[in-house]
Amino acid sequence: MTEEVHIGLVGCGLFGQSHMMAYRGVHGAKVVAIFDTVREKAEEIARNFDIPHVCASVEELCRDPDVQAVDVVTPEQAHRLPVISALECSKAVFVEKPFAESLEDCDAMIQTAEKLNGILMVGHILRFETRYALLKEEVESGRLGKVISMYSRRNRPKSLMAKYGRSHPAIINAIHDIDLMLWYAGDQIRRVRGYTRNHSGGVNPDTFWGVLEFGGGTLGIVEVQWPLPDQGGVILDDVFQLVGEHGVGNLNLFPSGLNLWRDDGFQIPDSSYDPRVRGSARGALRDELEYFCSCVRNRRRPDIVTPQEARNAVRVAVALIESANAEHDIQIGD
């Protein structure tokens, strides 16, 4: 019989609720406690998801003896405190991507995990999405040859700016593809150039392009655009192309294979990352959390994605933001 992993979840926003849905589909996992800075919201969600305990603080949740693992789904600038608190209470920790907005926060969390020999996993979900994982296996097989170049597009409708415009698109969205490119190339990035435009007048730009140059000569381009029309019904306009010396890998999540024609418009629902079927989330998010729970049961540090790899992606994203602001290339040291 599979040992049940008891989860304490910090952050009850939209993606926190996605995690709760996903845990419903994870064999041998149960969310037993939650915390959110808005107590009323946490209590309502606890009723909706039948969660027995609403905590008054992060510290209370981390000290709960019934909690074995803590899942941190707060905004990225608020990851450090709950992650370190949980590690110091001997809990395994899952924290959503991006790892943090600063290298200082990344290093503090990594150092705490190393000092305490703790389990720490960062949620780079695309490493668990079937198509991206298959492309990784194709690259590792050598059939595509040395990676020459990569291009990614990760564009979203205007309405999502209100939810996710709190952070720079390089750190909140492009970091997915920065991580993938580091993963596929198996090499470090030595120089970057970032470009931004702001058509919506928000705090952060809505258009971002980044050029990445790897130490071994591989080139990468990442594109993020937020001004897609909502009326188009496209939620995920995601593309990835990898060109090798002996072949090409093309990945396109649009069209998804399912589209809906309704009185209120045309819509293409997510069938990849976080699809909802029979009351629980499926897809890459569920698979990612399933893997984390397996690591918790076996007291094994996750190796599909490591904290250091997540830090490397943040380092590149931060350099791209610096480059865009300074309007020149940025060299990245070892």
- In terms of Cβ atoms closer than 10 Å to its own Cβ (0-12, 13-18, 19+), residue 117 is exposed
Per-residue model confidence (pLDDT) at position 94: 99
Beta-ladder partners of 276: 281
Per-residue model confidence (pLDDT) at position 203: 87
Query: Residues of the chain with pLDDT > 70: what percent?
Result: 87
The set of long-range contacts for 62-65, using a CB threshold of 8 Å and a minimum separation of 24, is 62/8, 62/86, 62/88, 62/89, 62/91, 63/89, 64/8, 64/32, 64/33
Residues 14, 163: Cα–Cα separation, whole Å: 9
130-272+314-331 is a CATH 3.40.50.1260 domain: no
Per-residue model confidence (pLDDT) at position 20: 95
Tell me, what DSSP letter sits at residue 321?
A: H
Q: In angstroms, how far is CA 75 from the centroid of its own chain? A: 12
Per-residue model confidence (pLDDT) at position 333: 73
Per-residue model confidence (pLDDT) at position 2: 64
pTM above 0.75, yes or no: yes
Tell me, what DSSP letter sits at residue 268?
A: B
| pLDDT, tens only, 241-288 | 999 999 999 998 765 666 665 666 666 655 555 555 565 666 899 999
DSSP assignment of 88-125 = HTT-EEEEESSS-SSHHHHHHHHHHHHHHT--EEEE-G
Q: Please give the average pLDDT of every successive group of 10 residues along the chain, which has 334 residues.
A: 89 94 94 98 96 98 98 97 99 98 98 98 96 96 98 84 80 97 98 95 92 98 85 73 97 69 62 58 87 97 98 98 98 80
5-124+279-303 is a CATH 3.40.640.10 domain: no
The Cβ of residue 170 has, within 10 Å, a number of other Cβ atoms equal to 30
Per-residue model confidence (pLDDT) at position 201: 84
Tokens of 328: 């020149």
| pLDDT, tens only, 280-334 | 666 899 999 999 999 999 999 999 999 999 999 999 999 999 999 999 999 997 5
Per-residue model confidence (pLDDT) at position 265: 64
How do the domains of the chain map onto residue ranges?
5-124+279-303, 130-272+314-331
Nearest by Cα to 256 from 269, 266, 241: 269
DSSP assignment of 210-240 = EEEEETTS-EEEEEEE--B-GGG-BS-EEEE
